[in-house]
């Protein structure tokens, strides 16, 4: 059975996107050698990437480009080679290589994907999907990069969660640049 992990950046005040979906702040200080090495080390594993339309379009517009291959070749290689699924009711096609488009049925399709053999599932961004899957208790772990800044406005990953969910800290790592990675599992 596959496990589902969420990997996202958040601001100190808990937003994973700023106003109008801006996420540029999450890449501040990403060129720090220690942090860059950690990012590369996490890009090496095999995963099935799961996206909503907005995150998919953002990722598909960057990772296949020459700029991505130049700036971060190991991560670009992993992103481009890995299998991907995107859930969207409005997207007409998914042209990024190794991508399958699902037009509906998020919960039943994710349950099916989770029950199959294969690489674990990794979710980036995709707050609407995260909140739906968390509500159904389908997420096995969260890896959250807390960034040392306050946005003041934005969206949380958990908008619409109907009830409190207890989590337990399983790991933490801090970087000199102020980013802190917190890993959680359901309690």
Q: What is the pLDDT of residue 71?
A: 87
Band (pLDDT 50/70/90 cuts) for residue 43 is low
Model confidence pLDDT, tens digit, residues 95-138: 999 999 999 899 999 999 999 999 999 998 888 999 999 999 99
- Region 32-50: what's the mean pLDDT? 83
pLDDT higher than threshold 70 for residue 60: yes
Q: What is the pLDDT of residue 91?
A: 94
Only one residue has tokens 């990437």, namely: 49
User: Pairing between strand 180-186 and 167-174?
Assistant: antiparallel
Q: In the structure encoding, which two tokens stand for residue 100, read together? A: 């399958």
Compute the residue count for the chain.
187
Q: How far is CA 145 from the centre of its chain?
A: 11
pLDDT higher than threshold 90 for residue 40: no
- Region 80-84: what's the mean pLDDT? 94
pLDDT higher than threshold 80 for residue 23: yes
| Structural domains of the chain, ranges and CATH numbers in brackets | 4-186 (3.40.430.10)
pTM exceeding the 0.85 threshold for the entire prediction: yes
Q: Any idea which of 87-91, 110-114, 135-139, 158-162 has the lowest mean pLDDT? A: 158-162
- Region 28-41: what's the mean pLDDT? 84
Q: What is the pLDDT of residue 44?
A: 59
pLDDT higher than threshold 70 for residue 147: yes
Longest dimension (CA), the chain: 44
How far is it, in rounded angstroms, from Cα 116 to Cα 110?
Answer: 10
Residue ranges with strand state E in 12-82: 48-52
């Amino acid at each position: 059975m596959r496990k589902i992990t969420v990997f996202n950046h958040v601001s100190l005040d808990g937003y994973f996107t700023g106003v109008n979906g801006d996420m540029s702040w999450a890449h501040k200080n990403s060129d720090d050698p220690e942090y860059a090495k950690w990012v590369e080390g996490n890009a090496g594993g095999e995963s099935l990437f799961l996206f909503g339309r907005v995150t998919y379009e953002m990722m598909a517009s960057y990772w296949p480009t020459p700029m991505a291959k130049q700036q971060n070749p190991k991560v670009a290689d992993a992103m481009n080679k890995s299998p991907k699924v995107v859930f969207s009711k409005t997207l007409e096609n998914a042209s990024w290589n190794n991508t399958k488009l699902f037009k509906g049925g998020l919960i039943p399709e994710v349950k099916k994907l989770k029950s199959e053999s294969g690489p674990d599932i990794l979710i980036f961004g995709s707050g609407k999907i995260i909140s739906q899957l968390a509500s159904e208790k389908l997420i096995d772990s969260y890896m959250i990069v807390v960034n040392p800044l306050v946005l003041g406005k934005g969206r949380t990953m958990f908008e619409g969660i109907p009830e409190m969910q207890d989590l337990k800290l399983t790991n933490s790592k801090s970087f000199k640049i102020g980013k802190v990675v917190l890993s959680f599992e359901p309690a």
